[in-house]
Amino acid sequence: MFPMVVFETVHFLRPHAMNELWRTYPGMNDPWVQKAPMVSGETKALLQRHHSLENMLAYSDPAYWDMLIFHPQGPQLIGLSEDDRQTLIREFWRYNLWHNLPSFLGSRVTVFFTAALAEGGFPALDYAPVVLPRTKAVSKYRHFGLTGLEGFLASLLRASHAVRWLLWAPWLGLALLYVGARRSLSRRDAALALLVWPMIAQLGAIALFSSAGEYRYLLPFFVLPLALMPALALTNSRHAPEPREAPKYP
């Protein structure tokens, strides 16, 4: 809960060209409008005790919470106390979400499709020498010297990466998941439901709570056809009508 809440709350603090951080409503006390803050005062005060709002906005990203948490010059909001975290979550559900619902829904779409279309950051092919020393393992980079094969695989990766929105996207898995859900209900197939509905719950949780557009979150749905295609084929065979016997004539 906390990663999603802190990620979205900082986004709610972004200044707007119209009305800054205020939502305007027609009102009786003012001849023109009544003003209500888009983010509660308690939320702003809590965050400002930890770091300046300018710094938070400078290190916010539409699809990733990482800079708000890990960057050494950023706000490092992971350091909020447990009480402050609970207050932030409470204010989110009490006030902030309902004053920024379109922004929240748009953010959920942005994060989900950043992951689904594999638009997130990927390490370089020569990143291994950076990682291996950190593992403190006895490893040697390019031990076998397969430079020709490495070059071929690199070119293959570059070619597939250019159309990753199609080749790497989990569209087939999501389509089969929809078919499986409908079939499990219409045919009351418990075995198929046991495979399908936990994955639907996981998909909903990713869409609602994810705070980073990481492709790896949706990778299970990319490989899901390996399980769903045989499962759907088995349900077809189980529910196929039995062949009728030809009439016997004397």
Convert the pLDDT of each residue in 185-229 to its tens digit: 988 888 899 999 999 999 999 999 999 998 889 999 999 999 999
In a domain, 230, yes or no: yes
Strand locations in the chain, DSSP E? Answer: 22-25, 34-37
CA angle 101, 102, 105 (to 5 degrees): 85
139 shares a domain with 191: no
144 shares a domain with 216: no
Q: Containing domain of residue 224, as a range?
A: 171-238
> Which of 134, 155, 7 lies closest to 70, judged by CA?
7
152 shares a domain with 95: no
What is residue 15's predicted lDDT score, i.e. its pLDDT? 82
When pLDDT is cut at 50, 70 and 90, the band that residue 244 belongs to is low
**Where a domain ends, among 84, 99, 114?**
99
179 shares a domain with 153: no
> Which of 156, 149, 48 lies closest to 9, judged by CA?
48
- Provide the domain count of the chain: 3
In a domain, 120, yes or no: no
193 shares a domain with 155: no
Would the pLDDT of 84 be above 80? Answer: yes
54 shares a domain with 26: yes
143 shares a domain with 190: no
In a domain, 45, yes or no: yes
Token couple for 99:
């004053």
Place of tokens 């707007």: 16
CA 187 from centroid of its chain's CA atoms: 31
Query: Residues 48-62: pLDDT tens digits?
Result: 998 888 999 999 999
- The Cα 90–Cα 102 span in angstroms is 19
Torsion angle of C-alpha atoms 185, 188, 189, 191, degrees rounded to 10: 90
